[in-house]
Amino acid sequence: MPVVKGILGRKLGMTQLFDEAGRAVPVTVMEAGPCLVVQRRSREKDGYEAVQLGFGEVKEHRVNQPRRGHFAAHGVPPRRVLGEFRLGDLSGIEVGQELKADLFQVGEEVSVTGISKGKGFAGVMKRHGFHGGPATRGSMLHRKPASGGATDAARVFKGVGKPGHMGAAQVTTKGLRVVRVDAERNLIIVRGAVPGAPGSLVRITVPVVAPRKPSRRKLVT
């Protein structure tokens, strides 16, 4: 199993950079680490191999007793947030080691996972992109969802777009290219937008691309 590179961080906000042709490129600035290696999980003991990272400094009296004992058992200072990243090779990774933004390189494609902004209760036009009804006077159907589907079943089938709570869900954006890495300030700048509000927690990973299966089609000679 290949090694998965990952780190915890915070979304700082969006800005723009200019490429060589002078075109404005929208980018997102994220604080990536520094993360502390809190625990190593092994296949013999835990059934899988992973590394547990801690992000964000926190005072010890603000950590509850179970988590305080967890940090003390591994001999590391407490951290505000914990996150696991599955690895295929734990060689070279030790408890107490610090991971920084230089884990990534310019040009790499990363995936960023975060909690999207909460929109509250939203209608079908905002939540699902419905077109809505006629906007003329007297239509009585402007932004309503209209029909809910078949009536013979006397119920609404799963997957039908309805008004409801929007946002505040885990979202992963893939294929974001790293355009700049500042290891001294622990900053990673990626092209495009990432989920979440400024200051929210994000997980930055380099996805593992599974090898393609050989085609079963026979070539005609």
pLDDT of residue 174: 92
pLDDT of residue 2: 41
Q: Is 48 helix (H, G, I), strand (E, B) or coil?
A: coil
Question: Which parts of the chain sit beneath pLDDT 50?
Answer: 1-2, 219, 221
| DSSP conformation letters of 111-149 | EEEEEPPP-EEE-HHHHH----S--STT-S-SS-----S
Task: Work out the number of other CB atoms within 10 angstroms of the CB of residue 32.
Answer: 26
Six-digit token string for 210: 């599974």
pLDDT of residue 88: 61
What domains does the chain contain, in order, with CATH numbers?
18-33+101-118+167-211 (2.40.30.10), 35-99 (3.30.160.810), 124-162 (no CATH)
pLDDT of residue 16: 93
CB 103 within 8 A of CB 34: no
Six-digit token string for 159: 């997957």
Listed in order, strand segments (DSSP E) in the chain are: 6-18, 24-32, 35-41, 50-57, 79-86, 98-99, 109-115, 120-122, 164-166, 170-182, 187-191, 201-205
Q: Which among 168, 169, 178 is positioned nearest to 9, based on CA atoms?
A: 178
pLDDT of residue 30: 95
CA distance 174 to 207: 8
